[in-house]
């Protein structure tokens, strides 16, 4: 499942938690119901011309949140592009891969929930 940052209803808050100024929240509501224990929470720096191969998640869920750069992903057999702020959700039993075809490194947050 691909979640595009430009499709998210942004929430703007003034003086968050009795602080100052403003902040914007980008709620990825589709992942709020995933239950389990976090097994990995990592920012990954994927070097240019590198790829995490296509693999199946038999016993866990994985979320990629693109931070910097542009990734080519395979989401259950469908190839697509992730830009900063976009998210790919791979649920138990699903498969995915991520590839950096650019000339610079890319960065994404990866979370595995079992």
Q: Each residue of 48-103: pLDDT tens digit?
A: 999 999 999 999 999 999 999 999 999 999 999 999 999 999 999 999 999 999 99
Is residue 25 a part of any domain in this protein? no
pLDDT at 95: 98
Contact yes or no for 67/111 (Cβ under 8 A): no
pLDDT at 34: 92
How large is the greatest C-alpha to C-alpha distance in the chain, in angstroms? Answer: 46
pLDDT at 21: 96
Per DSSP, 26 falls in state -
Is residue 29 a part of any domain in this protein? no
Is residue 66 a part of any domain in this protein? yes
pLDDT at 33: 87
Percent of the chain predicted with pLDDT > 90: 93
Q: Which of the residue ranges 6-20, 26-40, 91-105 has the most confident prediction, judged by mean pLDDT? A: 91-105
Say how many domains are in the chain.
Answer: 1
Is residue 58 a part of any domain in this protein? yes
CATH code of the domain in which 51 resides: 2.60.120.10
Which of 106, 58, 112, 105 is CA-nearest to residue 88? 112
Is residue 69 a part of any domain in this protein? yes
């Amino acid at each position: 499942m691909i979640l595009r940052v430009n499709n998210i209803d942004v929430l703007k808050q003034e003086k968050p938690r009795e602080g100052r100024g403003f902040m914007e929240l980008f709620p990825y509501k589709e992942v709020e119901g995933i239950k389990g224990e976090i097994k990995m929470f990592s920012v990954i720096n994927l070097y240019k011309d590198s790829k995490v191969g296509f693999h199946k998640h038999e016993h866990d869920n994985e979320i990629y949140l693109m931070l910097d750069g542009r990734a080519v992903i395979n989401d259950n057999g469908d190839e697509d592009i992730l830009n900063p702020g976009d998210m790919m959700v791979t649920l138990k039993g699903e498969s995915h891969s991520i590839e950096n075809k650019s000339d610079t490194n890319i960065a994404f947050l990866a979370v595995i929930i079992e």
